[in-house]
A and B are shown apart, each in its own frame.
Chain A
Amino acid sequence: MSSDLEQLYQQIILEHSKLRHGAGLVEAPEGDKVGESHMLNPTCGDEITLRAAVHQSQGAQTLSSISWDGQGCSISMASASVLHDLGLNLDRDELLKLVDEFRTVMRSRGTIEADEEILGDAAAFSGVSKYPARVKCAMLAWVALEEALLAAN
C-alpha cells in the first residue's frame, strides 16, 4: 500500500464518511436567516444539499445550524461531516475565511500542508490535494456552504 493512498484515506476520513455528522436536513432555529444550496459533481454524480442558518445578535453573526443531505464518495461525505463539526457556532466571516483556507490547501497539489490549529479535522484532507481529480469531492460541501451563506444574506 503506497503511503499516498493511506494519506488520502486517513482513518479520520473513513470514520467521518460513515458517521456523517449533520446528515439529514433540519429546520433552522426560528428567527435565524436560512440559506440552502444544492451542489453536484457531474463526473461521478456526487450530490449534496446543504442548509445553513445564521443567528444575529448584537452585530455578531453565528452559525446556528448546518445540516446536509447527500450521497457520494467517502471524501465528499467525510468532508461534509467535518465541515458540520467545524462550522457550527462559528462566526460567519470566520467560517468563510476557513473555507478559503481549505480551498487554498486543496488546490495546492500537495505543496501546502494544512495547519491543524486552524483547520482541525479538516487538515486530514491534505492528502486529497495530491489527487486533482478528487479535489472537487473534498470541496463539494464547502462550496455548498459558501452558496448557502450567500443565500442566507
Chain B
Amino acid sequence: MPVVSTPATLKPSTGPIDNAEVLRIRNDFPILDQKVNGNPLVYLDSGATSQNPQCVLEAEQEYYEQRNAAVHRGAHTLAVEATDAYELAREIVASFIGARFNELVWTSNATEAINLITYAFSNASVGRGGEEAERFVLRPGDEIVVTEMEHHANLIPWQELAFRTGATFRYIPVNDDGSLQLEHANTVIGPQTKIVAFTHASNVLGSINPVETLVQMAREVGAYVVLDACQSVPHLPVDVKALDVDFAAFSGHKMLAPTGIGALYGKAELLNAMPPFLTGGSMITTVTMEHAAYLPSPTRFEAGTQRISQAVALAAAVNYLKETGMERIHAWEQHLGQRLVEGLGQIDGIRVLGPRAGEERIGLASFDVDGVHAHDVGQFLDDKGIAVRVGHHCAQPLHRRLGLVATTRASTYLYNTTDDVDAFLEAVAQVRPFFGVK
C-alpha cells in the first residue's frame, strides 16, 4: 500500500538506539542536513514541531500524484482509492495508540481536538444530541478539573466551556518543582467533578504524569478523563485502552507528519452518543429543510472536505516510528533528556525546571539563565545554528507559578545525537559570559 514505506536506510534493529543508528536515521531527514548562520543545524525544537522524513514527504506527494479525489463521495476509481488511503491511514494511526478505527477522529491538530470535545459537551448542555447525550450535560455546580501545568490548548477551551455552561473551573496545583500536588488532587476532584483533563507529559517540565492515579480518582467520582497526549504519543509507547482514558488528543506535526493534521481519540460508545461540533457535508444521514440526522463516529465529527493527504502522511510517519520502535525511541530520548539535565546542571546560573537529574523525564529540558532573558539566550544559540524554543511555551500559568516569565527549551527526537546535546551545552555555557553576567 502507498502509505506503507520502509526507508531503505532504516535497518530494523533490536538493540538500543545509538549514535550510529541516529546518523543513519538523519539521512531520511533532508532538512537536517544544512547550515544555519554558518554552522551545522542543531535542531532541538521538536517539542514545538518535528521534521519530516523523506518517506512522509513522498507519501503525501504520491497521494497527490496518484489518487487525489474527494473521499466518501463519488463512484469513480480515484474517489475509491482516495477513500481507501484515507481510511487505511485512520486504521494505522488508531492501532498505533491501541484504538479501533471508529474511535479516531481526524482534526487539524490537538487544539482542535480538545475544542471539539468541549463544544460537544457544550452542545449537549443546550439540549442537542437528545437523551443519549444527557450524560455530557454540564450545569452550574458541576466541576471541570485541569492542572496548573497545562498547555493553553488544554486550559483555555475548558475555561470557555465553564463560562458557557456555568460549570465551575478548578485545577490541581503544582509544587515548587513543578510536580502535581497529588495529595491535593483528592480535594479538587470530588463528587461534582464531571471532567478531569490533564497532560500526559509536560511540554515544559518534561515530566510524565501519573495517568493511572488520576484516572482512578476520576473513575471514583464518575468523571470523564481527557488526556493531552501531544508530548507522549510522538515519543513513547501509548495505549489508550491500557491507560483507560475516555478521550485523548495529539498532533501530527509533532510526530514527523506535516502540519494540519491531528487526532481525537474517544471511546466509541462516548463518541457515538456525542452531538457533533462542526456540521455540514459528509457527516449526515438524512437532511430535510428542518432537520438533519448524523452518522456515527468518526464521520459524525468530520464535516466538510477533509485533510486527506495529511492523514496519509501521518500514517506514513506512524509507520516510520513503528519501524524504529517506540520503546527504543523512548529509551534514546530519555538518555538525551538525562544528558541535557546533567549538562545544564553543571553550568553556573542555570535553573532547570521539572524533574531532577536521574528522575524520569522525556527528552526535553526547559531552563532559566540567571540574568539573561530567554529571548536573548535563543538568539545567541541561533547564531550558532542551534534551534530551541524560547518564551512561555504556551504555559503562562505554570511559568507564573514557578516565578518565571519565559524560559528556554531544548527538545529532542529520534534524529538527535548526543553530539547535538553536547553542542547545545557548550553554547549555553557561553551565554552568561557573552551578555556580561557574572
Contact = CB atoms under 8 A, between A and B. Distances in A.
B157 interface: no
B40 to A, nearest CB: 15
B406 A45 contact: yes
B186 interface: no
A4 B382 CA distance: 12
A14 interface: yes
Interface in A107-131: 131
Contact of B391 (A1, A2, A45, A75): A45
Interface range, A side: 20 to 34
B248 to A, nearest CB: 28
A44 B379 contact: no
A4 B391 CA distance: 22
A5 B391 contact: no
Nearest to A72: B373
Contacts of A1: 383, 434
A45 B396 contact: yes
A43 interface: yes
Interface in B392-438: 392, 396, 399, 405-406, 434-436
Interface residues of B, number: 20
B20 to A, nearest CB: 32
Given A43-B391, A45-B391, A71 B405 contact: yes
The majority secondary structure among interface residues of chain A is: mixed
Interface string A120-145: 00000000000100100100000000
Nearest to B392: A45
Contacts of A47: 405
B390 interface: yes
Interface in B171-209: none
A122 B392 CA distance: 28
Nearest to A18: B436
Interface in A17-62: 18, 43-47
B383 A45 contact: no
Interface string B348-378: 0000000000000000000000001111100
A134 B379 contact: yes
Interface in B1-55: 37-38
Contacts of A134: 375, 379
B373 A2 contact: no
B392 A4 contact: no
B26 to A, nearest CB: 25
A2 B390 contact: no
Given A74-B373, A75-B375, A44 B406 contact: yes
Contacts of B373: 44, 72-74
B435 A45 contact: no
A5 B381 CA distance: 10
Contacts of B391: 43-45
A89 B240 CA distance: 65
A2 B406 CA distance: 25
Nearest to A14: B436
Contacts of B379: 5, 8, 131, 134
Interface string A68-102: 00011111000000000000000000000000000
Nearest to B430: A1
A9 B396 CA distance: 27
Contact of A2 (B37, B375, B376, B434): B37
B405 A2 contact: no
A2 B383 contact: yes
A110 to B, nearest CB: 14
Contacts of B169: none
Given A14-B436, A74-B372, 9 more contacts: A2-B383, A9-B435, A14-B435, A44-B406, A46-B375, A72-B373, A72-B405, A75-B375, A137-B375
27 contacts: A1-B434, A2-B37, A2-B383, A4-B37, A5-B379, A5-B380, A9-B435, A14-B435, A14-B436, A43-B391, A44-B373, A44-B374, A44-B375, A45-B392, A45-B396, A45-B399, A46-B375, A47-B405, A71-B405, A72-B373, A72-B375, A73-B373, A73-B374, A73-B376, A74-B376, A74-B435, A131-B379
Interface of B: 37-38, 372-376, 379-380, 383, 390-392, 396, 399, 405-406, 434-436
